[in-house]
A and B are shown apart, each in its own frame.
Chain A
Amino acid sequence: MSEPAIGSGPGRALLAVYGVFALAAGARAAVQIATRFEEAPLAYALSAFASVVYVVLTVALARGNRRLALVACGIELAGVLIVGTLSMADPAAFPHATVWSGYGSGYVFIPLVLPVIGLYWLLRRK
């Protein structure tokens, strides 16, 4: 390996945080979609999408796939900004919370800070 691994050192802690979010968002989306998808299809589909992004990031960090991690981190940042803004602008469209609504306010704004830290980590080591 010519490049330092992205999944060790501080990257390992990042991997742990993404793993927790993959688990939390994934389980939440699975329950929402399985039990009451028709109540808020958009919000629940977004929950599922967010959880997929977190899973991809966890795997990319664990396997040291920098490009995949960068793309997923970019999508994550875009997602939290877009969904956060939409949920503020039109709360009626998001009657049920997702990980990204209100810029991740339901998760003490970690979803907003996480992609910034992730991008910093991935780009700094390049």
Chain B
Amino acid sequence: MRRGGEGDGTCQYPTGHASCHGDVPVIGPLATGLIVLALLIMLSGIVTAVRNRPMGTVILVALGVLEVGLLVQAGFAVAGVIGGEGAGETATLIGYLAGTLLIPPAAAFLGLAERSRWGPAVIAVGAFAVCVMVGRLLQIWHGTA
């Protein structure tokens, strides 16, 4: 994992710029994993909706795993910010972290309440939102937004 820092020549900013204090090593792979998981949940939501079934346990468990992963990511990111890492924009970063945490429980609640094909459709919407938000989170973290 690349660690952008002073003197390694990979930094486009002057030494000491916030953008160059690099990555908490875990953020990149974890975020990628979370995006893949959210995409899988979105796909299974779409497939379930197309097959005209209500959402089942598998999607619910996957949403739980996603939420745990998002919590872990938020923990690492907050620790990183406190440790002076991440590329500025702290308020935006916190906003995205908090926002992503809200979506899986809300989607599960709505999706379970709707016992038709539109339940898994709700899950697909939520999972897509998580994909986009984790992607943006990565950009903000690396200062490439």
Contact = CB atoms under 8 A, between A and B. Distances in A.
A20 B118 contact: no
A27 to B, nearest CB: 4
B129 A20 contact: yes
A8 B103 contact: no
The number of chain A residues touching the other chain, given as a range, is: 10 to 19
Interface stretch (B2-10, B21-29, B105-113): B105-113
B91 A34 contact: yes
**Majority SS at the chain B contact face:** helix
Contacts of A12: 110, 113-114, 118-119, 121-122
A13 B122 contact: yes
A31 B96 CA distance: 10
Nearest to B113: A12
B98 interface: yes
Nearest to B130: A20
Interface in A1-52: 8-13, 15-17, 19-20, 23-24, 27-28, 30-31, 34-35
Contacts of B36: none
Interface residues of B, number: 22
B8 to A, nearest CB: 30
B91 A20 contact: no
Contacts of A30: 95
A11 B114 CA distance: 10
A35 B93 CA distance: 13
B24 to A, nearest CB: 22
Contact of A16 (B91, B125, B133): B125
A16 to B, nearest CB: 4
Contacts of A8: 114, 118
8 contacts: A10-B118, A13-B122, A15-B122, A16-B122, A19-B106, A20-B103, A20-B126, A35-B91
Interface of A: 8-13, 15-17, 19-20, 23-24, 27-28, 30-31, 34-35
Going nearest first, the 5 A-B pairs with the smallest beta carbon separation are: A27-B95, A16-B122, A13-B121, A12-B114, A16-B125
